[in-house]
Each structure stands twice: as structure tokens, then as C-alpha cells.
Amino acid sequence: MRQTDTERADHLKVLGLSNDEIKVYQHLLRTGPSSVTELDEAVPDREATIDATLSGLVQVGLARRSGSDHSRFLPVPPDAGLEAMTLRRESELKQARIEVLNAYDEFRRTVYNESTTHLIEVVTGSAIVERIHQIKGGAQREILAIDSPPYYIGGPNQEEIDHLKRGVSYRVVYSPESVEVPGYLTENILPCVEAGEQARVLPDVPAKLTIIDGSIAFVSMSVRDTDVNRSLLIIRPSSLLTALIGMFELCWRNALPLHASVGTEDDRLEPIERRLLALLATGAADDTIARTLGISRRTFFRYLERLMNRTGASTRFQLALHAARENWL
């Protein structure tokens, strides 16, 4: 057998052809139409009968009968046949993967009942900050987060800004308590939003959560559950991680945009009014909004009253609905 035949045989074997089918098919490619007797004599070292072998080639779409009496066989254009074989092979590989995973799971549950500690890691004390940097530093595609104090790390979030610059996307759901932390909005949230973070706010978040590339997460209690974070749970691929991803997506769908949309300028709104609306959406206290905007409470209420009169809203909730409808948020 020539070297080219050997190479071709290797490829055909990958598609699922038997050794007998490969030998007969390659003989047909070299000689053209052949009878059953000719093929039986030309390819003698087979395990199956020549009829069974030819039937297999016809079934996968690589050969057909020819001649007036249909006694001869010849190769046919393999496009459709190869496509069907490829799809069948992919299906078999997927099924094999499932079977292997199921077999290992059965082994783990019945033969080697391994502890689940490899799925959940508990980090405490000073090691928390180091582990957070280590995990987030390996992000490649996307970071999802539910943000709430208390915080392990203070100051501007330069790490996120660097990630955004190299193409890692961020979706963050903030709690109202995040905005209440002095300086956190202006020093942390807004710079990240300007760098490309997608930010929303939810009146009540279930936990502090960060998910890296959908493959690992760390979670801890929010400020409503504890005043000081003393421990961090690191979750690896498992049903728990899947549930946490689902929890984030639910929070994201129910949250409101934190900042004014880019590219939807409306000359009826001043920049300070847009920021005021964004801050109102966070649920921040009036004093916090006024302080963040650098205006007095009296000026804040004047802007608020003007916005409500302009939209015909009698409550802040109605104002928020109007702002969302007009794409001001």
C-alpha cells in the first residue's frame, strides 16, 4: 500500500470506517467499477464478507451499484456521505464523552467517595486579598459581580480598569449600600463605568459574588448580613456554581441601569440632571446624592422638582419609570 493510501486510511478510520471498508474503498478509487468477485479476489485479507463490506460502503454513501445488471460497484461523490459520517462521528464522540463522565461520577460516588472539599475552598484572614487578586488576575473573557460592602480592598479599582483595557468585559450589579460608602461612587464605580463596565443597581442583593469566566466564583455575605468579612468561599465547577451564575443573571435582569446611557443625548436634560437620575436609581439617600453632585440639599430638591414637573411625575417611582421609558438611564 502506498504512503498516500496509508495516510488516507488514517483519515477514513477517524470517520468510523472499518479496516475492511477502507481497503475495498481504496481499491475502488484505484481501479474504478468492479464486480463483487473482482473485489473479493483483489482484497482477500478481510475479516468480514465482501457483501457485508460493500453494503457498509453503500450505506454511508461512498459507493453505489452500477451497470445494467447492477452487479458492479464504483465510488460516488462523497460530499453527502462524508457529511453524514462526520455528524455521526461527532454524535458518537459526544455520547462517549457523556459516558466517560458518567462512569467517573459513578466511580466517585460508589468506589471512591471523595470529599467535596475540592469544589469549595474556604479562605480566611489575610489570605483573602491574595486569593482574590490571584483568581481575578487570570480572567480572560468576562467577570460578573454582585457588589456590596463590606470590602476587602479599598481605594480605586485599577485592576478592573486594566482588565477592561485588555478586553475583559464586566457586568456588575451594585447594592444601594455600595453607593452610600463615602467616595466609593466617585473613586471606584464611576471610573470603572467610564472605562467600559456595564453597571446596574438592585435594591436588595442576596450576597457578594464574583464569577470569573463562568468557571470559578468567590462569594461572601453582604453588609446586611455582616459588618466585617472574615471568610470567603471559592466555588469551582459544580451544580452550586451553576446556581450562582443563574442567581446573578436573575439579579441582572431585575436591576436598573446605574448610569446614563452613552449616545442618547437629550438636549432637554442637563448633565447634572442625568447624574441625578442615575443616583436616584441606586436608591441612595438624598444627602449622599447632593454630596456626590457637590450641591446643597436645597439645590438637589430644586433639580428634583424640576424633573418631576417636566415629566408630570408625582412620585420618584413615576419619575424613574419615565426616565427608563425615555432611555435616560
Same domain, 300 and 194: no
Question: CA–CA separation, 1 vs 108, rounded Å?
Answer: 47
DSSP 189: I
Contact 210, 217 (CB under 8 A): yes
**Residues 6 or more apart in contact with residue 19 via CB below 8 angstroms:** 13, 47
Same domain, 130 and 247: yes
Domain termination residue (choose one: 257, 292, 314) = 257
Same domain, 126 and 252: yes
Q: Let me know if residue 231 belongs to a domain.
A: yes
For 17, the 3-state DSSP assignment is coil
Q: Let me know if residue 294 belongs to a domain.
A: yes
Q: Let me know if residue 105 belongs to a domain.
A: no
pLDDT at 107 over 90: no
Same domain, 299 and 219: no
Q: Let me know if residue 265 belongs to a domain.
A: no
What spatial distance separates the first Cα and last Cα of the chain, rounded to whole Å?
A: 71
Q: What is the pLDDT of residues 122-155, one digit of tens each?
A: 888 778 888 888 888 889 999 999 998 888 776 6
Same domain, 251 and 306: no
Domain count, the chain: 3
Half-sphere exposure for 56 (CA within 13 Å, toward CB):
17
pLDDT at 197 over 90: yes
Q: Residue 210: which CATH number?
A: 3.30.870.10
* Region 238-261 average pLDDT: 82
Which range marks the domain in which residue 170 is found? Answer: 120-257
Same domain, 286 and 309: yes
Question: CA–CA separation, 200 vs 250, rounded Å?
Answer: 12
Q: What is the pLDDT of residues 29-70, one digit of tens each?
A: 888 888 888 888 888 888 888 888 888 888 878 888 887 777
Query: What number of other Cβ atoms are within 10 A of residue 290's Cβ?
Result: 20
- Position with higher pLDDT, 222 vs 113: 222
pLDDT at 260 over 50: no
Contact 292, 185 (CB under 8 A): yes
Q: What is the pLDDT of residues 74-102, one digit of tens each?
A: 887 777 666 777 777 677 767 766 776 66
Same domain, 245 and 288: no
Whole-angstrom Cα Rg for the chain: 33
Q: Residue 38: which CATH number?
A: 1.10.10.10
φ, ψ for residue 33, nearest 5 deg: -55, 130
Contact 20, 53 (CB under 8 A): yes
CA nearest to 71, candidates 48, 47, 56, 54: 54
